[in-house]
Amino acid sequence: MLIHPTRPVYPLIEPSDFAAARLPDAVAEHEDSLRRIHGWAREYLCRPNPRLGRRGDVCPFTGTSLRKGLFLVSVHTGQPADPAELSGLLLHYRDWFTELSPRTEPDAQFTTILVLFPNLTDVTLIDRTQGALKREYTESGLMIGEFHPGPPDKGGLWNPDFRPLRAPLPLLAIRHMVPTDLPFLRDDEATVAAYLRRFGDRLPRTSAAR
């Protein structure tokens, strides 16, 4: 478990913590939610899906992230009122993410922070917050992803009828932008521009050809 030096109330649970019979006392009240998401990551994100429309795992990075101990999870209880409040809660994690995972580190692309909101009943708040923060995060070289039981109304890249962002609990995920992210950013000129400023000289061959 990782504890922030100035905000210890919101620890990050590491993959190694889930090997123990019980999670650390600091997050014991959230054990069910945390283990549920850890199981979802292993059983869904780290496996192929016949509806995905391509070979490989649903998420090509999660398996490595788990093995390297870089798949980090935190929990926020309560009911944020609007995207502004939810965005404010995420500031701590965005800043902590950049401290934990400098881009110069070889494994930086595999670092992920998931922030769970297990008591959130209006899951559209997850979608609206992600939409509100997308430009700001891409400007910083980050991606923010939305997942919830809705599921989010975004089809897969290879099968538009598949909803890959389905998760058992509402959450937002933070990770580094990588060269293969261009298809997720094409719907917004500002996010494309942020991508090109970072990766314009090394576009993936499939993206450069389009």
As a whole-number percent, the residues of the chain with pLDDT over 70 amount to 95
**Token code pair at residue 205:** 């061959």
What is the token pair recorded at 159? 């099968």
Mean pLDDT, the chain, integer? 92
Q: Are 118 and 77 in contact (CB under 8 A)?
A: yes
pLDDT at 79: 87
The backbone torsions φ and ψ at residue 2, rounded to the nearest 5 degrees and listed phi first, read -105, 135
Tell me the average pLDDT across 35-46.
97
Q: Is the pLDDT of residue 207 over 50?
A: no
Determine the length of the chain: 210
- Average pLDDT of the segment spanning 47-76: 96
Distance of CA 11 to the CA centre of its chain: 16
Instruction: Tell me the per-residue pLDDT of 68-101, one tens digit each, with 9 for 90 and over.
Output: 999 999 999 888 989 999 999 999 999 999 999 9
Residue 144 CB burial class (10 angstroms; 0-12, 13-18, ≥19): buried
pLDDT at 209 over 80: no
Confidence of residue 6 (pLDDT cuts 50, 70, 90): confident
Where do the domains of the chain lie?
15-177
pLDDT digit string, tens, across residues 8-23: 888 999 999 999 999 9
Instruction: Indicate the pLDDT class of residue 208, thresholds 50, 70 and 90.
Output: very low
Instruction: State mean pLDDT over 45-71.
Output: 96
Give the pLDDT of residue 62: 97
Quick: pLDDT tens for 136-171.
999 999 999 999 999 999 999 999 999 999 999 999
CA distance 17 to 19: 5
pLDDT of residue 77: 87
The stretch 183-194 carries a mean pLDDT of: 92
